[in-house]
Structure 1
Amino acid sequence: MTLRIAPIRLSHIHAPVQDRLDAVVDEIRRIVVSDFAPVDEVNHYLLKIRGKLFRPGLVLLCDQLNGEANRTAETLAALIELVHLATLVHDDAVDHSVLRRGMPTVNAMWSHQVAIIMGDYLYSRSITEITRLGEIEPIRVIAAAANAMTVGEMRQLVSHDALAFGEDDYFRLIDSKTASLMSAACEMGALTGAPQHRDALARYGTELGRAFQVADDLLDYTADPAVTGKPSGLDLREHKVTLPLIHALPRLSRAERAEAEALFRDPEPSDEAIHALVEVIAAHGGLEYAREKALESAQRAHDALEGLPAGPVLEALHDSVVYAVERRR
């Protein structure tokens, strides 16, 4: 299947499972409820700033691939979203980020200590709930993903100021931090609804996650902050090395390399310095290269779906790949 170019709305992708996503939101609320007011206060805020349910949608689509819906998948979809939310809360605290989707982060609203505790709470509630289901395979899948994401966060932490961070390091990082959970989402959906396609859907999720993260890193260079809800050039501001910069670095002149090194030494680089480095990266093909790599992973995700049952769900899975690489926020 060839890639489309026009962006696709997430509502279009979720159409086959939209009514079930409402049940997922109810499950999320049920799972995180607490009789301890400080925890409940933060939970209430987190549910207001939660994402677009892309990963839970993948669980439900994969569950429904064979035409039937398993109610257990709605709980698993809620758990995937809670684990994802926990990683975001922890990441924001580690990075000292102040905005997430245009709203203050938990660490900005409360404190870094509260953010770490709340991330732990979301993880522990997820594990408590998944053990209640009494099935070992979903536990195995989500535990492996959580472990990979933890290692990935450490990789990212130690990569700051590391202009020697290479392309292999980068893809190892995004496989840990992003692709692992998307693969887990697809695999968990397969466990409840399409077990014969478990391996294919897990591969699909991995490649989808890679495409999603490369495209997301590219958006950091190209997107309008008013649309994304976060400052442009945030990765460079936080001294994170992503694929556009990795590709451009060997091609920089001596003067350009010196400017890049100066930016990474500066604890608070100026907007002008960030803008100048973005222009240099673009001039050396870094943005185009990242786009090509996102499309390569996207094509492999499409290929992983070959031979699966045709219908609206399969179309939605293909459209999810297009959404991952063509979205604007």
Structure 2
Amino acid sequence: MGVVVQLEEEKSAAAGKDANKGETALARLQALVREDMEKVNQTILHKMQSPVALIPQLAGHLISSGGKRLRPMLTLASSRLCGYEGERHVELSACVEFIHSATLLHDDVVDESDLRRGQDTANAVWGNKASVLVGDFLFSRSFELMVADGSLEVLRILSNASSVIAEGEVLQLVTANDTETTEDSYMEVIAAKTAALFAAACEIGAVIAERPAAEQDALQSYGRNLGIVFQLIDDVLDYSAQQEKLGKSIGDDFREGKITLPIVLAFRRGSEEERQFWRRTMEDLDQKDGDLEQALELIHKHNALKDTIERARHYGAKARDALVIFPDNAYRQALIDIVDFCIDRAY
């Protein structure tokens, strides 16, 4: 698995690069929003309660499984960046986390995943039916929170994001195992299934602070581009040793025949013989011993991971640029630095 060594060598060769920069950026963001995040966590615990005991059990299993709560933290930080001093951002951050958690429950069923963040998935413990239904419950709770906020603009942004996420998941299902998927088509999928919620989570911060449209658009752009960065690095992680640190085995996407950007690039750049390999393993799911190792060699040969990271850096630069209209303060710097955190996960 030479590709893993390649990434590590590049990382260590970066002059003056602090290996812990990304984690430090995350810690700074967490520190800035700590008091607000405690209120968000209390809201989450309260709102996922139900007289149907399985609902809080299953929802709690997912929500307490070690996620960084990045999306609700983005809502909190965006709100404070815009000078917001009220309390609406707390329940709206919980709303964002419920939307995210609902999509995770549904995704694990669709992907037939057994592990998430090193723990058994809810569907592995309670079965697919319970996971889907509790996911529906969390979606419903999120809409209750949207309505309770009372803003039609907030309701428009978050409800639209929910429908776009669903469209992205269906589009990914339709194009699954299709090695003819283009880079543009794949970017369309991740813009919908991942970036839409990042964008909405940030944009509503400007809305509740009653900031001008330019600031609302800037935060929407920041969140969308950050979400693309996040997903592209996730694509890289599935073929890198860092995946083991996240509780997943290397090559889960490969085994499922999931077409991600590294595969798109390796397929396009490969010989006809190599393309036949990808068609057999990804389209037909006819996989044999040694195929994952060959896939890693081809991905490395065609610089598919390096170039996916470079694309992530491009979108990261766009995310940073979107914040230049805001005052230079701790919140803006934390949001800028979190871009590095998302990219540095690849190393």
Q: State the TM-score, normalizing by the size of structure 2.
A: 0.90
For residues 53-68 of structure 1, the aligned pairs below 5 Å read 53-68=69-84
Contact kept, 8 Å, 2:22 with 2:342, in 1: the verdict is: no
Deviations 1:264-299 (A, max 9, x none): 245473462112112101111211110110000000
Aligned to 1:8: 22
Tell me if 1:263 matches 2:263. Answer: no
Q: Specify whether residues 270 and 106 from structure 1 end up closer, same or farther in structure 2 by C-alpha distance, changes over 3 A only.
A: farther
The letter of the residue matching 1:294 is A
Aligned to 2:165: 149
Rounded to whole Å, the distance in 2 between the matches of 1:242 and 1:306 is 31
Percentage of identical aligned residues: 35
* Two-structure CA RMSD over aligned residues (Å): 1.7
For residues 98-247 of structure 1, the aligned pairs below 5 Å read 98-193=114-209, 195-196=211-212, 197-247=215-265
Q: Specify whether residues 71 and 5 from structure 1 end up closer, same or farther in structure 2 by C-alpha distance, changes over 3 A only.
A: farther
Of the three residues 293, 301, 321, the one matched with 1:303 is 321
Aligned to 2:109: 93
User: How big is the shift at 1:56?
Assistant: 0.7
User: How big is the shift at 1:252?
Assistant: 1.1
Corresponding residue SS for 2:308: helix
Rounded to whole Å, the distance in 2 between the matches of 1:259 and 1:198 is 46
Of the three residues 62, 68, 78, the one matched with 2:94 is 78
Which runs of 4 or more aligned residues in structure 1 lie more than 6 Å from their structure 2 counterparts after TM superposition?
none
Rounded to whole Å, the distance in 1 between the matches of 2:293 and 2:101 is 30
Corresponding residue SS for 1:241: coil
Q: Specify whether residues 271 and 145 from structure 1 end up closer, same or farther in structure 2 by C-alpha distance, changes over 3 A only.
A: farther
Rounded to whole Å, the distance in 2 between the matches of 1:264 and 1:93 is 20
Rounded to whole Å, the distance in 2 between the matches of 1:225 and 1:270 is 22
Deviations 1:2-29 (A, max 9, x none): xx95432222222211111111100111
Aligned to 1:282: 300
Q: Specify whether residues 66 and 224 from structure 1 end up closer, same or farther in structure 2 by C-alpha distance, changes over 3 A only.
A: closer
Aligned to 2:271: 253
Contact kept, 8 Å, 1:220 with 1:235, in 2: the verdict is: yes
The letter of the residue matching 1:322 is D
Tell me if 1:29 matches 2:45. Answer: yes
User: How big is the shift at 1:312?
Assistant: 0.3
Rounded to whole Å, the distance in 1 between the matches of 2:337 and 2:285 is 40
Aligned to 1:293: 311
Please list every run of 5 or more consecutive structure 2 residues that lacks an aligned counterpart in the other structure. 1-15
Q: State the TM-score, normalizing by the size of structure 1.
A: 0.95
Contact kept, 8 Å, 2:244 with 2:250, in 1: the verdict is: no
